[in-house]
Amino acid sequence: QVPILQVEQLKTYYPIRKGIFSRTVGHVKAVDDVTFSIYPGETLGLVGESGCGKSTIGKTIIRLEQPTEGEILFDGQSISAFSLKEMQGIRTDLQIIFQDPYSSLNPRKRVEDILAEPLQVHQLLPKHEIPRQVEKLLEKVGLPKSYKDRYPHEFSGGQRQRIGIARALSLNPKLIICDEPVSALDVSIQAQILNLLKDLQHEMGLTYLFIAHGLGAVKYISDRIAVMYLGKIVEIAKTKEIFEHPKHPYTQVLLNAYPVPNPRLRSKERIIVQGDLPSPVNPPNGCRFHTRCPYVQAVCREKEPVLSSDEHAVACHFPLA
């Protein structure tokens, strides 16, 4: 099977500027040599604590951020060197849903105009067919078509996220980057939105990159999970494997933050992470997790572990059995 998206050795660095001449004094290494693929119809979960670079990966793919190095192949085409104009040309296939449905919808526009805008920009439909298409989109995301005359502030968080999803769907995309789409919602609403995303995936053959800081939502929606720590992927495997046989100590830490129904397993495997998240400006030498890892050895401080290339890939000198 051919991947729909291939991210190869991607680096996204932000310069840190100082003084009146804006001299560059360092870089935030937000994404630091990341490689992964996503296959058509699949959901890849991308997990890690805030500041680990997971949103930056999403934003770099759709070029809200500029890649520093590396390559992004979408549908077999190298898009990392595309101009913004060329990017615009593939934006029908590549969409993003943001975390905060409160700030991502223009408050001065009616829902109809919000949903019609991408259709008008890309001229995918004759003008007179757009109102009917807007109604179809609302129905698709489980909202009454009469809502098209309302403004974003008239909706709940869950309803706004449905509108955000409708907008992403309007151009019939292939891949949707879901950047923490349920993190800002009440727990009771989260499952509804996840179910909607799953239903739409089956109906429309969508592929998702699903970004989250915790494993809860990701467990429910992902076929595979990639775990990120300080700009790097430290483990990537099928969802079941990540939950049942985590190999990286950091993945185990994340699993401990996730409620485990079996208390015996919990006490036996519970490991506590030490210290604060190091700065992505000067990440630790060797294994970036060594300052917090309970299993650290001398070699971990010197030699950087590489991500193995098997189906259950891990970057650790002493992976858990």
Site residues, ligand SF4 (CB under 6 A):
249, 287, 289-290, 293, 295-297, 300, 305, 316-318
CB distance 189 to 196 below 8 Å: no
Which amino acid is it at 94? L
Q: Which CB sits closer to ligand SF4, 217 or 287? A: 287
Choose the one of ligand SF4, Mg ion, none that binds residue 316, judging by a C-beta under 5 to 8 angstroms depending on kind: ligand SF4
Both tokens of 66, joined, read 């500029």
Task: Please tell me the distance from the alpha carbon of residue 88 to that of residue 108, in angstroms, as a whole number.
Answer: 24
Minimal distance in Å, beta carbon 33 to ligand SF4?
A: 16
Q: Which of 31, 32, 53, 55 binds Mg ion (CB under 5 A)?
A: 55
60 in contact with Mg ion (CB under 5 A):
no
As measured in angstroms, the least distance from the Cβ of 13 to ligand SF4 is 22
| Smallest distance, ligand SF4 to C-beta of residue 256, A | 15
Counted residue by residue, the chain has a size of 321
User: Is residue 56 involved in binding Mg ion (CB under 5 A)?
Assistant: no
Tell me the backbone φ, ψ of residue 37, rounded to 5 degrees: -130, 155
Q: Name which of Mg ion, ligand SF4, none residue 55 binds, using a CB cut-off of 5 to 8 Å depending on partner kind.
A: Mg ion
The answer to whether 163 and 116 are in contact (CB under 8 A) is no
- Distance between CA 134 and CA 114 in Å, rounded? 9
Determine the Cα angle at 68 with ends 62 and 93, to 5°.
Answer: 15
Q: Residue 126 is which amino acid? A: P
Rounded distance between C-alpha atoms, residue 239 and residue 215, angstroms: 10
Please, which residue, 104 or 252, has the CB nearer to ligand SF4? 252
The nearest distance, CB 257 to ligand SF4, in angstroms, is 17
Piece in contact with Mg ion (CB under 5 A), picked from 54-62, 159-167, 247-255, 311-319:
54-62
> Whole-number minimum distance, CB 38 to ligand SF4, in Å?
25
